[in-house]
Amino acid sequence: MSKELFRVSFYDQISSNKIKSVLLMAVVLIVLIGLGAVIGLALGPDYFFFILIISIIISILYIWISYYYSADLALASVKAVQADPREYRQYHNTVEGLTIASGMPKPRLYVMHDSNINAFASGRDPKHAVICVTTGALEKLDKQELEGVLAHELSHIANYDIRFMTLVAIMVGMIAIISEIFLRSLWFRGSDDRDNKANLIFIIIGVVLAILAPIVVQLVQLGISRKREYVADASAVKFIRSPTGLIDALKKIKSETSKPPEKVSKAVAPLFIGDPFKRNLDNWFSTHPPLEKRIDLLERM
């Protein structure tokens, strides 16, 4: 049967994946509320209040650092340098053309010395955004392919993906912190509390949730990351009105056999257009959806 019968609208793809991302984020909220309620019942309001205060203080610090310095931290972690407009003229001209067409401010442009084809965007909003591409991308991609990759990264910026993912990461971090404090607090409680049969069932439930909740929300976070890649692919098509350049770029990324870069940490790996560690897997622990699925969807747009 012809692919024409399965043609996908990029507007539908963007809308569908945004809804799925919000639903996945709602799961994290539900887990956080449920964990808090069980801990409150197990330990009593005084203990829960203490746990909540500590987690809020730590979360505020984490929010402040993540919100204002996420881009600088990501660039420093990969040893990126600012792209000289004279040396990287095509890079600058392509981004300028895309931002003028979309009405977006031009982000700061950086280059990461790496032979692999890759790129990422970061920043709290379009006015404070950065794009970083590898030297491999600038050397191996033609003008149309580079435009597709840069449109993908600008889509992350336009869709406020970095802010969204930062918020999810904060929520995931809060759940991990609350779980850890709860588990440690059990060691400091008196024997009378532990022997209280009325609270025993809630303590058992709390322990199970404290162990499982961080794992569950981590899987949700990875699921959101994969969905945002689909949204950025569809948004890139919206930017440039053609999927061809991005399709060809993803095919080149898929065909690469070079070793993963040593300077990229797993913490920033989800930011890249393609998984730097070449883990093109289709499972719950993947940071990116398989390239084959992304290419297939783009070909049907």
Catalytic residues: 153
Q: How far apart are CA 175 and CA 281, in angstroms?
A: 27
Q: Of 209, 181, 206, nearest to 194 (Cα)? A: 206
End-to-end CA distance of the chain: 16
* Helix or strand holding residue 140 (H, E): helix 135-140
Helix (H) or strand (E) holding 175: helix 161-185
Take residue 290 and report the two structure tokens written for it: 């398989």
DSSP label at 31? Answer: H
Contact yes or no for 6/300 (Cβ under 8 A): yes
